[in-house]
Amino acid sequence: MRRSWIPIAACVIAVTAASPQASAEPSTAIGSPLTVETASPLDPTLAQELSRASNFTYQSTFGNETPTVVSGALYEPKGAPPAGGWPLIAYAHGTSGISEECAPTHSPDLFQNVPIVKALVEHGWAVAATDYQGLGTPGQHRYLDSRTEARSVLDAARAARRMNPTLSDRVMLYGVSQGAQATQAAAEVAGNYAPELKIQGNAMDSPALNLVPFVAAIDSKSLTATQYAVLPLVLVGVAASDPTFRPSDVLHGLSQHDIDVLVSCTGIDNAEKFTIAVGMNPSNAYFATMESRLEMAKFLAVNAFPQRPPRVPTFVARGTDDTLILPSWTDPSVTAMRVLGGNVQEVLRPGVMVVQEMFLRRWIGSSDTSGEGMRASSRRIE
């Protein structure tokens, strides 16, 4: 017998489900910009590096090709572009929340993404940054729904090139955590979904390539505090894709206030989030029904990677001390990419999060996307 999860239904799922799904006219081409405006206010350290910053909405799809409107931003470097135009990075951010107000491009500090975007434009890249479907526009954000995220990423790049046709058709994918799952999905489908984009490679920081072990961690009562903190978001993502799934069959014993805090946007109530997560224990996370376990496992398996041989050079940067996406969770995915013939360069560094400095210094280095330095599959442990 399933039970109703009143706190979660009231303060999590209803956050987005109460709003109508943003949509566009069916005749609007996928990847078309719909509205464009100057990005303001903007962090001054980023603004000084840009010739132009634009917030925009664009046409994309979710689920079974359902039209939807997604928001994003285009950041263009100062100076004269190289021959062929500024090369473009389609940037996919890490987890920022699940509600409309958690869109990074609607925040002056981009929900802590300014250092990454700033570094990219300083190295001569234009950056098309998606907010993902349901963040920044009405409708339920389909957290960890890789199929929808991939379209958001690729359609943002398409829209950026339609906004500024002088941008190069050379596109690099770069994702962090949730965003790395999105760029891996985008890399695998780009050849069919967006063949006009010349995808040069896919770089991933701390990628969420395989979260199926979340289920076993709940079974074995071995969730870390960081994993407890994101569990409500994961459960809402499952429910967004599977209406039969009830988060209340997995998460138990939290007050409505605590749930509100855990699902709030990145950077909001972080200290309280930590306190709540540290106080959680196995009595707060267990499968009350076999159906809930199977539904969660199925969702995570459908959104695990790789799903096909990698078509582009791939860079993976990870921290050996990551307590959210454990190294042992990601190791099989990287191995599978190589077994499938992928050109994969991997760097493991002590610590929790490997960020843009590693991505730029080790792999791309500049806006030269000739492919030099992207050819030899390797693994480096530092």
**pLDDT at res. 274:** 93
In this structure, which amino acid lies at residue 289? T
Considering the domain architecture, whether residues 78 and 147 belong to the same structural domain is answered as yes
Domain span holding position 248: 6-16+212-301
**pLDDT at res. 266:** 83
Q: Calculate mean pLDDT across residues 177-185.
A: 97
Considering the domain architecture, whether residues 117 and 161 belong to the same structural domain is answered as yes
pLDDT, the chain, mean? 87
Considering the domain architecture, whether residues 80 and 157 belong to the same structural domain is answered as yes
What is the share, in percent, of the chain residues with pLDDT greater than 70? 85
CB 228 within 8 A of CB 254: no
Whole-model pTM: value is 0.89
Which one of 273, 301, 329 terminates a domain?
A: 301
Q: What H or E segment, with its residue span, contains residue 345?
A: strand 344-349
- In a 3-state reduction of DSSP, which class is residue 11? helix
What is the share, in percent, of the chain residues with pLDDT greater than 90? 75
Considering the domain architecture, whether residues 95 and 186 belong to the same structural domain is answered as yes
Sign of CA dihedral 10, 15, 20, 21: negative
Structural domain includes residue 1: no
Split into its structural domains, the chain has a count of 2
Looking at the DSSP bridge assignments, the partners of residue 314 are: 202, 344
In this structure, which amino acid lies at residue 85? G
Structural domain includes residue 144: yes
- Between 377 and 327, whose confidence is greater? 327
In eight-state DSSP terms, residue 285 is B
* pLDDT digit string, tens, across residues 358-367: 555 556 554 4
The DSSP line for 85-143 is ---EEEEE-----SSGGG-GGGSTTGGGTHHHHHHHHHTT-EEEEE--TTSSSSS---T
Nearest Cα to Cα of residue 275 among 327, 225, 211, 321? 225
* pLDDT digit string, tens, across residues 2-16: 333 333 333 333 333
CB 100 within 8 A of CB 14: no
CB 61 within 8 A of CB 151: yes
φ and ψ at residue 93, rounded to 5 degrees: -75, 160
Q: Calculate mean pLDDT across residues 74-84.
A: 94
**pLDDT at res. 257:** 94
Considering the domain architecture, whether residues 21 and 88 belong to the same structural domain is answered as yes
Considering the domain architecture, whether residues 234 and 323 belong to the same structural domain is answered as no
* pLDDT digit string, tens, across residues 104-163: 998 999 998 999 999 999 989 999 999 999 999 998 899 999 999 999 999 999 999 999
Q: Calculate mean pLDDT across residues 223-242.
A: 96
Rounded Cα gap, residues 49 and 118, in angstroms: 7
* pLDDT digit string, tens, across residues 270-313: 899 999 999 999 999 999 999 999 999 999 999 999 999 999 99
